[in-house]
Chains A and B, each alone.
Chain A
């Protein structure tokens, strides 16, 4: 199975395997290029020896022999290097958490816990809205009460005013005065009746 080393890719910005592959291809290319240069230099040197019996084919064979040998060692050594680099350098140990993921360690919420938290927030929002509405209604009533109280106090003040007028005009207790007045009126009526009868 392939280990994609995705967590390492998250940190490095590239996959370690691709990094090693790039290095491998570059090294291999350099090796091949150098061998071609070596071969061409040797062939050029041989041109300076017209009587020489060494053919380009022989030189090519020598190049292939050396290259094959080098490639075998190169592959073996590179394999070891790759293994070491992937294990020791381009690797995030299993117990290590990257800084951007620390929050997963601190707040490992399950689906149910998360849902419960969201539900609680939703409930708090509803409760707040209800309280805000209740507050508005209470304040509206307070305003109404102020107006009603003012009207009722005005009525009471009118009653007070009426009594003050009576007091200013010498009537301390209006009810008693009224009773006294009514009684005196009755007495006067009786006296008048008496006088009329005596006059007849």
Chain B
């Protein structure tokens, strides 16, 4: 349970940034 909490919390912290990076790349590519 503890490992699951830490894993989920880490994902919550890191994954939005990763997803955002891809979204920004897509938007930039579209702009270009």
Contacts and interface: CB of A to CB of B under 8 A. Distances in A.
A168 B15 CA distance: 88
Contact of A6 (B9, B16, B17, B30): B9
B5 A15 contact: yes
Q: Tell which of B2, B8, B30 has the most Cβ of chain A within 10 Å.
A: B2
Contact of B13 (A10, A15, A17, A18): A10
B19 interface: no
Contacts of B13: 10, 100
Q: Interface extent on B, as a size class?
A: 10 to 19
A7 interface: yes
Contacts of A5: 5
B18 interface: no
Is the contact region of chain A dominated by helix, strand, or loop, or is it mixed?
Answer: helix
A10 B8 CA distance: 8
B11 to A, nearest CB: 9
A139 B23 CA distance: 34
B21 to A, nearest CB: 14
Contact of A4 (B5, B17, B30): B5
A4 B5 CA distance: 7
B2 A13 contact: no
B17 to A, nearest CB: 8
Q: Interface extent on A, as a size class?
A: 10 to 19
Interface in A1-24: 4-7, 9-10, 13-15, 17-18
B28 interface: no
B2 A15 contact: yes
A13 B6 CA distance: 6
Contacts of B30: 125
A6 B17 CA distance: 19
A4 to B, nearest CB: 5
Nearest to A5: B5
Nearest to A121: B27
Contacts of A9: 5-6, 9
A6 B11 CA distance: 11
A6 B12 CA distance: 10
Contact of B6 (A7, A15, A100, A125): A15
